[in-house]
Amino acid sequence: MEKPFLLHFATPAVRVSPFDVNMAYDAGWNAVIPYAGVGLQDISGFTQDAIFSRGPKGAKRTGIFIGGRDALLADDMLQAAGKAMVPPFAVSVFADPSGAYTTAAAMLAKVEQALLKQHALALSGRRVAIFGGTGPVGTVVAILAALAGAEVSIPGHDGLARAQAVVDPINSRFGMRIRACDGGKASEIQALLTQSEIMLSTAKAGVQVLSAAHLAHATTLRVAADINAVPPAGIAGIGMMDDAVALAAASGNAVGIGPLAIGNLKYQVQQALLQAMLTTEKPLLLGFSEAFIEARRRVA
Q: pLDDT by residue for the chain (300 residues), tens digit each?
A: 688 999 999 999 999 999 999 999 999 999 999 999 999 999 999 999 999 988 888 888 999 999 999 999 999 999 999 999 999 999 999 999 999 999 999 999 999 999 999 999 999 999 999 999 999 999 999 999 999 999 999 998 888 999 999 999 999 999 999 999 998 888 888 899 999 999 999 998 888 999 999 999 999 999 999 999 999 999 999 999 999 999 987 778 899 999 999 999 999 999 999 999 999 999 999 999 999 999 999 999
Integer Cα distance of 272 and 299 in angstroms: 14
Cα–Cα distances (Å) from 85 to 56, 94, 141, 161, in that order, read: 11, 14, 29, 39
Name the pTM for this structure: 0.96
Integer Cα distance of 29 and 27 in angstroms: 6
For the chain, the domains span: 6-99+267-299, 103-262
Domain 6-99+267-299 has CATH 3.40.50.10280: yes
CATH number among 3.10.20.30, 2.60.40.3880, 2.60.40.1220, 3.40.50.720, domain 103-262? 3.40.50.720
Residue among 214, 197, 230, 203 at smallest CA distance from 134: 203
pLDDT of residue 225: 98
pLDDT of residue 98: 94
SS3 90: coil
pLDDT of residue 185: 85
